[in-house]
Amino acid sequence: MKKHVSWTLLLLGFLCAALIFVSCGEKEKIIEKPVIQLSEEDIQVLQETVYKTRTFRGRERRYLTTDFSHLEKPASLDEFTQFFHNPPVRQYWTGTCWSFAATSLLESELVRLGKPKVKLSEMYTAYWEYVEKARRFIQEKGNSYLGQGSEHNAVIARMKQYGAVRASDYSGLLGEQVEHNHGPLFKEIKDYLLFCKENEYWDEEKAISYVKEILNKHLGKPPEKILVNDQEKTPKQYLEEDLQLRLDEYVSFISTKSIPFYTKGEFAVPDNWWHSENYYNLPLEEFFAAIHKAVKNGYTVALGGDVSEPGMSGEEDLAVIPSFDLPLSLINQDSREFRYYNRTSTDDHAIHLVGYKETDTRNWYLIKDSGSGAQRGRFKGYYLYRDDYIKLKMLTFMVHRDAVQDVLEKFSEEE
């Protein structure tokens, strides 16, 4: 009887051991999850937060930044492989960066396509954008966003409607003016449109006529015809016959989990005031790779995104993601999405990527910028963006479709 009991106990012991082994094996399977690995290649210089002050419009402002002195960075613009672009032009006191960036892109495209160099008018496009914003406001009975900002593809849309002119044909400056200031202009337009809303005055023809009077007073009346090689032409004729830009060949991209990847949808920001749904949505790695591949193949790219970070400094001409914010290996779709969702990554500014520099460790991009911040450093009108800044903070880009044909093929309507 005792022998039988001992064999029974031994059998039970083996069964328990087997169960523990199986249980442990199953437990290991259950807890096996993706991990974040910080490799040696991701070592970054430790950067501390620093408070500095600057004077802006006569007022002293305190802001958070970092010490850039220990960063390995390009020492001059000559280190970049650059592609043709007209010299930087300042937008001054306006919210028209979208027009400056996209117009600069199209100027570069003309040369890439073998056409003569030309300086186009940003303000001609901006004039008609104000008109179309007012038109939509009236049509929507006040349920439409009012602001000076817009998106790259608005330049494409307005040129299709109204053509284009050279900067020498229309500057948007009157008399002795040398700097743009749309503050008074926009206030007058907004006040009038809000008056229309309060009084339910929705006569589109009369309202647009009055908005044009305001614009003409502040910017001057845009030309109905211009002289080109001793011939009078309308702005649309100049676009079609002389510039010959195929505007439908410029495509815009976003990268967000808010809509399915490889579909088109709306870039949901206030400056997309007309709710364009013509944005191709790519996963972040493909979004960034498309930008890099385009510039390596000789295309320039219009970018739009957030420029209000501690790692961005006009005095240093730099835009990077500091170590106290996020290491490079942690910049992914989700960390980017989180910032887009909580509005710490916003659609602040539009710029033009015109060159690149590859190193053993990081890639750098030469950015042409019409904003005032780009005038503070050594490289007037330019910034040097590191790869991490574009990955985390740039929300949209526009480029010629030939530069991104491989990714466009992944979208059903392109098949």
Supply the Cα-derived Rg of the chain in whole angstroms. 27
Give me the percent of the chain exceeding a pLDDT of 90: 81
Residue 131 has pLDDT above 80, yes or no: yes
User: Rounded distance, CA 403 to CA 414, Å?
Assistant: 15
Are the beta carbons of 122 and 173 closer than 8 angstroms? no
- In tens, the pLDDT along 169-223 reads 999 999 999 999 999 999 999 999 999 999 999 999 999 999 999 999 999 999 9
pLDDT at 152 over 90: yes
Name the residue with higher pLDDT: 364 or 52: 364
Per-residue model confidence (pLDDT) at position 46: 82
Of residues 175 and 413, more confidence is placed in: 175
**Residue 372 has what pLDDT?**
94
Q: At the fourth CATH level, which superfamily is domain 49-414?
A: Cysteine proteinases (3.90.70.10)
pLDDT of residue 158: 98
260's CB contacts (< 8 A; 6+ apart) are: 281
What are the two backbone dihedrals, phi and then psi, of residue 273, each rounded to the nearest 5 degrees? -65, -20
Whether pLDDT at 101 is above 70: yes
Q: How far apart are CA 293 and CA 285, in angstroms?
A: 12
Q: What is the DSSP string of 103-156?
A: HHHHHHHHHHTTPPP--B-HHHHHHHHHHHHHHHHHHTTT-S---S---HHHHH
pLDDT in tens, 50-60: 899 888 778 88
**Closest to 81 measured CA to CA, from 362, 254, 260, 297:** 297
Model confidence at 329, pLDDT cuts 50, 70, 90, reads: confident
- What average pLDDT does the segment 21-27 reach? 47
pTM of the full structure: 0.89
Considering Cα of 19, then 25, then 29, then 33, what sign does the dihedral take? Answer: positive
For residues 113-124, average pLDDT: 98
* Residue 28 clears pLDDT 60, i.e. is over it: no
The mean-pLDDT minimum among 30-44, 307-321, 324-338 falls in 30-44
Residue type, 3: K
Contact yes or no for 118/103 (Cβ under 8 A):
no
pLDDT at 265 over 90: yes
Q: Measured between alpha carbons, how far is 359 from 124 in angstroms, rounded to an integer?
A: 40
User: How many angstroms separate the first and last alpha carbons of the chain?
Assistant: 80
371 vs 357: CA distance, rounded Å: 23
Q: Residue 415: its pLDDT value, please? A: 39
What residues are paired with 286 via a beta bridge?
none
Q: What pLDDT was estimated at residue 337?
A: 97
Mean pLDDT on 241-254: 98
User: 335, 344 in Cβ contact below 8 A?
Assistant: no
Weakest mean pLDDT among 53-62, 113-122, 297-306:
53-62
d(CA 180, CA 175): 12
How high is the mean pLDDT of the chain?
91
Q: Where are the domains of the chain?
A: 49-414
The pair of three-digit structure tokens given for residue 151, joined into one six-digit string: 């998106």
Check: CB of residue 250 under 8 Å from CB of residue 398: yes
By the 8 A CB rule, do 328 and 52 touch?
Answer: no
Structural contact between residues 156 and 281, judged by C-beta atoms closer than 8 angstroms: no
| Residue 37 pLDDT | 62
Contacting residues for 203 by C-beta, under 8 A, at least 6 apart? 138
Mean predicted confidence (pLDDT) in 378-402? 98
**pLDDT per residue as tens digits for the range 174-183:** 999 999 999 9
CA nearest neighbour of 408 among 290, 316, 277: 290
Return the H-helix or E-strand segment holding 21.
helix 2-31
Evaluate if residue 239 carries a pLDDT over 70.
yes
* Residue 1 clears pLDDT 80, i.e. is over it: no
Hey, CA dihedral for 163, 167, 171, 175, is it positive or negative? negative
* Contact of 350 with 338, CB cutoff 8 Å: no
Confidence of residue 40 (pLDDT cuts 50, 70, 90): low
Confidence of residue 363 (pLDDT cuts 50, 70, 90): very high
**Residues 277/263, Cβ–Cβ less than 8 Å:** no
Q: Model confidence at 412, in pLDDT bands (50, 70, 90)? A: confident
Per-residue b/e over 151-183, b at no fewer than 16 CB within 10 Å? bbbbbbbbbeebbbbbbebbbbeeeeeeebebe
Q: What are residue 401's phi and psi, to 5 degrees? A: -60, -25
pLDDT(2) > 60: no
Strand partners, 65: 50
Give the pLDDT confidence score for residue 70 in this predicted structure.
86
